Amino acid sequence: MPSLNERLQQLARVPRLLIVSDFDGTLADFSTDPANVPVETASVEALETLAGLPDTSVAILSGRHLAGLEAASGFDGSTFTLVGSHGAECSANGPELNGDQKAALQAVEDAFEQIIDGLEGAFVEHKPFHRVLHVIKVEDQGRAQQALEAALAVDIPGVHTHTGKWIVEASVVDMNKGTWVRAQQEHLRPDSTLVMGDDTTDEHAFAVLGQQDLSIKVGEGDTKARYRVASVHELSQVLKQLAALRSS
């Protein structure tokens, strides 16, 4: 397999390039306060450079709801395409909830709130199409894990549940990062796509890529990505290199 450096040089030369990055754990390190995460400035600057080049599209594809992504990142959508809720909030023409979906979402919320009742530090986040149980602030790791397992076992018709880092997320729309990336590829027809992410939800996006594409996992854990970097900072060096190569 070619080295990551070799693949970056190949990617820099393709006529049309689509770049898709997760936000948390990829462009920003984690924090116990999700509204105040440390953004890797070098990565943002490199992506801004890339987004300004011809035939180069950049999207930030996050599990956060769109308003939360804008607030935490400081991005306003003028440079990058901002995509929230794993692809469900990618445009003004995104899905709207019907009565059954609203009822299912309320049932999930009630179940999650019951699970964390009395568990200090745990909370349920509201997104337009999701409810997310967070335990990152829970000091008792045993009880935190029990809460995650209980949330994952919640079974409500029409609800799709999956895990992430210190979370269980329940959705009433059948959308994931892989379906969004595939739709963008069909729309933009890039010669290659670069996808970067750190979480289990990014694996859906890695899975839809072809041999001409490049996938990079940030951090530890099993992955479908072909390449791996150790940290958010290390990824920033990769992006700086790609920006320099494609600009030259």
Q: Does the structure show a pLDDT above 70 at 147?
A: yes
Residues of each domain in the chain carrying CATH 3.40.50.1000: 4-93+175-247
Question: β-pairing, 56-61 with 81-83?
Answer: parallel
pLDDT at 79 (0 to 100) = 87
Nearest in space to 202 (alpha carbons), one of 2, 61, 33:
61
Segment 18-52, tens digit of pLDDT: 999 999 999 999 888 887 899 999 999 999 999 99
What's the first-to-final CA gap in the chain, in angstroms? 25
- Cα angle for residues 139, 145, 151 (degrees, 5° grid): 120
pLDDT at 118 over 70: yes
d(CA 157, CA 100): 10
- Asked if the model's pLDDT at residue 207 lies above 70, the reply is yes
> Which fold does the domain 99-171 belong to in CATH?
Alpha-Beta Plaits (3.30.70)
In angstroms, what CA-CA distances link 63 with 105, 168, 180, 197? 17, 12, 12, 11
The β-bridge partners of 170 are 131, 161
pLDDT at 91: 47
Confidence of residue 115 (pLDDT cuts 50, 70, 90): very high
Question: Would you say residue 156 has pLDDT above 90?
Answer: yes
Q: Work out whether strand 227-229 and strand 214-218 pair parallel, antiparallel, or are unpaired.
A: parallel
Kindly state the average pLDDT of the residues 142-164. 95
**Range list of H helices, 52-140:** 66-73, 99-115
- Residue 95: its pLDDT value, please? 60
Q: Where in the chain is the domain with CATH 3.30.70?
A: 99-171
143 vs 97, residue with greater confidence: 143
pLDDT averaged over every residue in the chain: 93
Q: pLDDT value at position 36?
A: 86
Higher pLDDT, 34 or 160: 160
Structure tokens given for 121? 């530090």
* More confident site: 74 or 232: 232
Give the integer Cα–Cα distance in Å for 180 and 175: 7
pLDDT at 136 over 80: yes
Residue 117's CB: how many other CB atoms inside 10 A? 8
CA–CA dist 38, 242 (Å, integer): 22
Position 242 scores a pLDDT of: 99
Which CATH code, of 3.50.50.100, 3.40.50.11440, 3.40.50.1000, 3.30.750.24, is assigned to 4-93+175-247?
A: 3.40.50.1000
CA dist 237 to 27, 127, 224, 230, Å? 12, 33, 22, 11
DSSP β-bridge partners for residue 81: 59
pLDDT for the residue numbered 92: 42
DSSP assignment letter at 16: S
What pLDDT does residue 21 have? 98
Assess whether pLDDT exceeds 80 at residue 77: no
Average pLDDT score over residue span 178-184: 94
| pLDDT value for 47 | 97
149 vs 33, higher pLDDT: 149
CA distance 108 to 112: 6
Amino acid occupying residue 183: A
Average pLDDT value for residue range 117-121: 96
Which of the 8 DSSP states describes residue 28? B
**Model confidence at 129, in pLDDT bands (50, 70, 90)?**
confident
Are residues 72 and 44 in contact, defined by beta-carbon separation less than 8 angstroms?
A: no
